[in-house]
Structure 1
Amino acid sequence: MNDLDGISVIFDLDGTLVDSEPNYYEAGRRTLAEQGVTDFTWADHERYVGISTQETIALWKERYGLDASADALLADKNRRYLELARASTPVYPQMRAFVELLAGDGVPLAVASGSSRPAIEAILAGTGLDERLRVVVSAEEVAHGKPAPDVFLEAARRLGVAPGRCVVVEDAVPGVLAAGAAGMRCIAVPYVVTRAGDPAFAAAGLVFRGGQGEFTARVAYEWLGGSPV
């Protein structure tokens, strides 16, 4: 029988709870096209999976030599993304089941994401996950994004629990590293499955190397209940 007493779970959002990366790619592609960069591909987009939108913009400016300000680019990408996200952002069914299992046991839950707070709130409201995930932290609200531990530490603070009592659910290396830096255990579900062999994923307590296609709520739930804190 599982013992979840005293455990809190912090979810990454994009690529973990919801399949929002196609929307982020399209928003980025349109933003860059407006700046004259017309050859941005999905493979290019995969370079930025797991890091905050602000950091992505900074890397774009350096890589593509963009003249527009970071603030203008960020506003443009966020606007385009919100339009797409509100139209359609699917939840991974097994992740929804996992959230429901945990909520049913009264486990405190939070979301800590590199996305903007309006984007996070729009997705949670549109998918109905806001009923279960009421504590939200955006990377825009802390000093440093992942792989720094700031968003996870802030989530723990808002939950009112010690970091060592938290388990993070993540899809990307920066998030796994951030969880470790925060002193939290981690369940990793790689979004880019070809990167599942990255040594950083070995730091997670439980890794679904086949990504969302391999993840099951029941396996994660049983591991969480049986794994020592």
Structure 2
Amino acid sequence: MRTSNSTSPLGRTAIVFDLDGTLVDSEPNYFEAGRELLARYGVTHTWQEHERTIGVSTAETIQMWQDEYGITDPLEELLDEKNATYLRLARRSTQAYPEMVKFVRRLHGDGVPMIVASGSSLAAIHAILEGTGLDAYLTKAVSADEVPSGKPEPDVFLEAARRLGVDPADCVVMEDAAPGAVAAHKAGMRCIAIPYVAAAADDAEFATADLLFKGGQREFTAQAAYDWLSAH
């Protein structure tokens, strides 16, 4: 599977991007979609409760809600409703992080293989990439919906490597959430972590990250990440 990439200054390195909270600030939209869904069942959903599910796939999040709140409506119906609400919000207002955009553009210019691997649905992934213009640089994507298990299991990252045609050991995962950092480690991939929740930076799950921006997006710079990749 291992292939060389002589056109890239970074050699064999391939980059696997998480989407939500890493490339774009989509968590407010996910929170609102969840809040609207749970309100139908008389459940008040707070941001603090939402933070518990950052990095968890939408399907697994809804399963948690079914267990916690006794919601008996079919999972697929709930998933479709939440995704539809999220897509409506995402198309209207999703912002890409400026330093991440710089990073993606530089990697693209260097010919570095890149792919998005996310817990979001493929429809959500493509809508956000198109809406932010990142689809000009990130043309490959895999959703956790397409693999047996979502993060913290490594399935979505291993599938990303397979689709790129590269060895997992040559991949560097860009992640904002602890389940993603754990998944990257399980996949045998290096990880650059940019915690979405700053208070989570000291969590044990992030200890496996090879490069940790403890201040999250406030600390992350395209140059610092690129310099690290060049040295490693």
TM-score for the superposition, normalised by structure 1: 0.97
Over the residues paired in the alignment, what is the CA RMSD in angstroms? Answer: 0.9
* 2:8 equivalent to 1:11: no
Q: Which moved more, 1:88-97 or 1:63-72?
A: 63-72
* 2:199 equivalent to 1:194: yes
Counterpart pick for 1:125 among 120, 125, 130: 130
Counterpart CA distance in 1 for 2:215 and 2:182 is: 19
Counterpart CA distance in 1 for 2:210 and 2:196 is: 17
Whether the 8 Å CA contact 1:3–1:226 is kept in 2: the answer is no
* 2:62 equivalent to 1:62: no
Counterpart CA distance in 1 for 2:121 and 2:95 is: 18
Write the deviation string for residues 142-162 of structure 1: whole angstroms up to 9, x where unpaired. Answer: 000001101100010000101
AA of the residue aligned to 2:112: V
Counterpart pick for 1:113 among 105, 112, 118: 118
**Secondary structure at the residue paired with 2:202?**
coil
Counterpart pick for 2:185 among 174, 180, 184: 180
For residue 71 of structure 1, report the CA deviation from its aligned partner: 1.0
Structure-to-structure mapping, 1:139-154, within 5 angstroms: 139-154=144-159
* 2:169 equivalent to 1:164: yes
- Give the unaligned 5+ runs of structure 1: none
**Secondary structure at the residue paired with 2:174?**
strand
* 2:225 equivalent to 1:220: yes
Write the deviation string for residues 1-42 of structure 1: whole angstroms up to 9, x where unpaired. Answer: x940111000000000000000000000000111221x2100
Whether the 8 Å CA contact 1:137–1:151 is kept in 2: the answer is yes
- Give the unaligned 5+ runs of structure 2: 1-7
For residue 97 of structure 1, report the CA deviation from its aligned partner: 0.6
AA of the residue aligned to 1:226: A
Count of matched residue positions in the alignment of Structure 1 and Structure 2: 225
AA of the residue aligned to 1:18: V
AA of the residue aligned to 1:25: F
For residue 215 of structure 1, report the CA deviation from its aligned partner: 0.4
**Secondary structure at the residue paired with 1:196?**
helix
AA of the residue aligned to 2:16: I
**Secondary structure at the residue paired with 2:141?**
strand
Counterpart CA distance in 2 for 1:137 and 1:187 is: 19
* 2:20 equivalent to 1:25: no
Counterpart CA distance in 2 for 1:18 and 1:54 is: 20
Whether the 8 Å CA contact 1:86–1:122 is kept in 2: the answer is yes
Q: Give the % identical residues.
A: 60
Counterpart CA distance in 1 for 2:100 and 2:220 is: 8
Write the deviation string for residues 60-111 of structure 1: whole angstroms up to 9, x where unpaired. Answer: 0011111211111111100100000000100000001110111111000000
Whether the 8 Å CA contact 2:9–2:110 is kept in 1: the answer is no
Whether the 8 Å CA contact 1:7–1:165 is kept in 2: the answer is yes
**Secondary structure at the residue paired with 2:117?**
strand
**Secondary structure at the residue paired with 2:148?**
coil
TM-score for the superposition, normalised by structure 2: 0.96
Counterpart CA distance in 2 for 1:126 and 1:224 is: 28
